[in-house]
Amino acid sequence: MGIVFMKILGEKIRHYRKLRGISQSELADGICTQATVSLIEKKDKIPSMKILVRICERLGITMNLVIVNDDSQIYSIISEIKKLFYQDDYDGIVAKLDKLKDININNKQEIKLIHFFSGLVEYEVEKNYDKAIFDFNRAMNVNIVSVDMYDILINIYTAKAYVNKGSDDEAKVYYDQSKDLIKSSVEKINDENYRDSILIYANMSELALELGDNESVIEYANEGIYIARKEQSLFKLDSMYNYMAEAGTKDGQKSDEDYIKAYVISSISGNKNVFDTLKSKISKMSLNIFNN
């Protein structure tokens, strides 16, 4: 059995003590020393269970209000990692993953996500595509019956890693699997957190572009754009318009409007990577972004 980690939230002990209008000495009276209460509040010092129970009784609160165990701590960290993923903050993800190193994790879904995000760091930050594929495969091998959004993203990113290795044949295997998963899960995708849904469609349109499947680029980008518009969100909208423009250009179509939409949205959303790329491209194309 692994070690069970528990953390006490000293600030909450202090909050409820102040709320009751009692001093540290009054809280400690007959239970422990005032110094112990001070260490709990200021340093998150974990007392004996007997002391903690009596302190909570005196404050009139339950222990679950002031302690965090493995499960809730892991859930909280993974939730923070997901938010950082939406922001493309991979350095932030590294810091959060580091916090999970010494915690015993038994939940299969959480294990799968940790492997995925570890692979994501290797892919986005380290550019170590072999290690990324290794981590993504570890995520795939976690035996969970039902398919969720991250199963699709794991397949997509595995394909993208193979593309970056120059192994298009292997990439197409995972790309086709991703297409099948999306087709069989379309209702679930549209019912999920809209950011997760958009991530799937944006990444699939990018992957399709890299593999020369221009028809699918437009199909997936349009799905993602529809969700973004419905949610009145700019999330990944500039990237999806950019992928559509690139696919249209490759097919010999006039894609000025999509390039301009991507450029304008990236300037509003502050997506510097997309903005800088499109600024140079639009300049070379001599497009007037103020034309109707």
Same fold, 70-161 and 189-291: yes
- Angle (CA) 185-190-196 rounded to 5° is 90
Q: Which pLDDT belongs to residue 71?
A: 63
How far is 139 from 147, CA to CA, in rounded Å? 12
What is the pLDDT at residue 1? 35
**34-43 and 49-59 are packed helices; what angle lies between their axes, rounded to 10 degrees?**
90
Q: State pTM to two decimals.
A: 0.75
Residue type, 88: D
Question: In the 3-class helix/strand/coil scheme, how is 203-261 assigned residue by residue?
Answer: HHHHHHHHCCCHHHHHHHHHHHHHHHHHCCCCCCHHHHHHHHHHHHHHCCCCCHHHHHH
pLDDT recorded at residue 2: 40
pLDDT, block means (10 residues), the chain with 292 residues: 57 87 94 93 84 93 76 81 95 94 82 96 97 97 83 97 98 97 79 86 98 97 95 96 95 90 92 85 69 46
CATH of domain 189-291: 1.25.40.10
- What residues does each domain of the chain span? 6-65, 70-161, 189-291
Q: DSSP state, 125?
A: I
Q: Which CATH architecture has domain 70-161?
A: Alpha Horseshoe (1.25)
Cβ contact 208:220 at 8 Å: yes
Structure tokens at 146: 């039902």
In angstroms, the CA 145 to CA 138 distance is 16
Q: Are 263 and 275 in contact (CB under 8 A)?
A: yes
Provide the CATH number for the domain formed by 6-65 in this structure.
1.10.260.40
Q: Which of 4, 16, 71, 5 is nearest to 40 (CA)?
A: 16
CB contact at 8 A, 217 and 209: yes
**pLDDT for res 290:** 46
